[in-house]
Amino acid sequence: MRQTKDYLFTQVAQVAQALANPHRLELLDLLVQTPRSVEQLATASSMSFANASQHLQRLKRAGLVAGDRRGTSIRYRLADPAVIRLWVELRGIALQQLAEVTRALDAYRPQRHAFPTVTPAELGTGLAQGTMRLLDVRPPLEYAAGHLSGAASIPLDELPARLGELPDNVLIVTYCRGPLCVYADQALDLIIASGRRGARLEEGVAEWGLAGLPLEAERAATP
C-alpha cells in the first residue's frame, strides 16, 4: 500500500513540477488570454522557439495544455478551463502569503499605487450611467479572443497616436491581463498626462470569467 500511495502522489506531483518554472507560468498566463502558436508564444515571452517548445511539451505532459496541429505548426491552448482557476489561485496565494512576491510586483509595476482603481461593481455602475469608458490595452489577438463586455480596444503600442479617440468628459478605466500585467498602468500614465481622468481595473478576463461576469469575443467597440 505504501508503494502504491507513493506512486499516486508522484503522479499528482507532475502538475506541481510542471508549474515550478517561471517561464512555464508566463506561458500559461499568455494562454489564459488566447490560444497561440509556438512562434507567437516565443515572441510574447521573449524566449527562443526551442525553449518555448520544450516548456510547452512539459506543460502538455502534465495535462495543463493541449496542442492542435495546423499544417506545419502547432497551436497551443489550455487543456481545460479549470487550468485558469488553478493559475489564478496559485498567483493569489503567492501574492497573499509571500512578501517577496509583493515587493517584486511593486518593482515590476512601480506605478501600481499611483492610480485609483475601480471594482467590477463600480465599473458596472459607471458603464451603465455613462460616466466611465472601459479600455482594453492588450494586443488585438487577445482582445479578439475574449474581452470584458463593453470594452473598446486600443493596444498599448497604438495608444499614443490614438489618444484623440478617447472622450475627455468621463473616467477612462484601463485593464490588461490581470494584476501581474503592467500594460494598464502604462496606458493610464499616457491618459492622465493627456488631461483625462483615469483609473485601473485590476481584474482581467480570467478573473472576470471565473466570477461569472459577461465576456465578448470578436466584436469591435467604439472608444
Amino acid at 113: H
Residue 95 counted as domain residue: no
Q: How confident is the model at residue 219 (pLDDT cuts 50, 70, 90)?
A: low
pLDDT, tens only, 111-127: 999 999 999 999 999 99
Decide which of 27, 53, 86 is a domain's last residue: 86
pLDDT of residue 80: 96
Residue 91 counted as domain residue: no
What gap in Å lies between CA 103 and CA 30, rounded to an integer? 22
Give the count of domains, the chain.
2
Are 126 and 188 contained in the same domain? yes
Are 146 and 73 contained in the same domain? no
Are 116 and 212 contained in the same domain? yes
Residue 103 counted as domain residue: no
Are 122 and 212 contained in the same domain? yes
Q: Which domain holds residue 74?
A: 2-86
CATH number, residue 183: 3.40.250.10
Are 120 and 165 contained in the same domain? yes
Average pLDDT, the chain: 95
Are 117 and 82 contained in the same domain? no
Q: Indicate the pTM of the whole model.
A: 0.91
pLDDT, tens only, 172-210: 999 999 999 999 999 999 999 999 999 999 999 999 999
For 12, the grid coordinates are 499528482
Are 155 and 210 contained in the same domain? yes
Residue 145 counted as domain residue: yes
pLDDT of residue 218: 72
What gap in Å lies between CA 191 and CA 93, rounded to an integer? 32
pLDDT at residue 220 tops 50: no
Are 124 and 72 contained in the same domain? no
Are 187 and 136 contained in the same domain? yes
pLDDT, tens only, 32-85: 999 999 999 999 999 999 999 999 999 999 999 999 988 888 999 999 999 999
Which member of 176, 187, 205, 206 is catalytic? 176
Nearest to 156 by CA among 132, 188, 178, 179: 188
Q: How confident is the model at residue 223 (pLDDT cuts 50, 70, 90)?
A: low
pLDDT, tens only, 130-175: 999 999 999 999 999 999 999 999 999 999 999 999 999 999 999 9
Are 161 and 205 contained in the same domain? yes
To the query of whether residue 181 is one of the catalytic residues in this protein, the response is: no
Are 119 and 199 contained in the same domain? yes
What gap in Å lies between CA 22 and CA 4, rounded to an integer? 31
- 195: enclosing H helix or E strand: none
pLDDT at residue 8 tops 60: yes
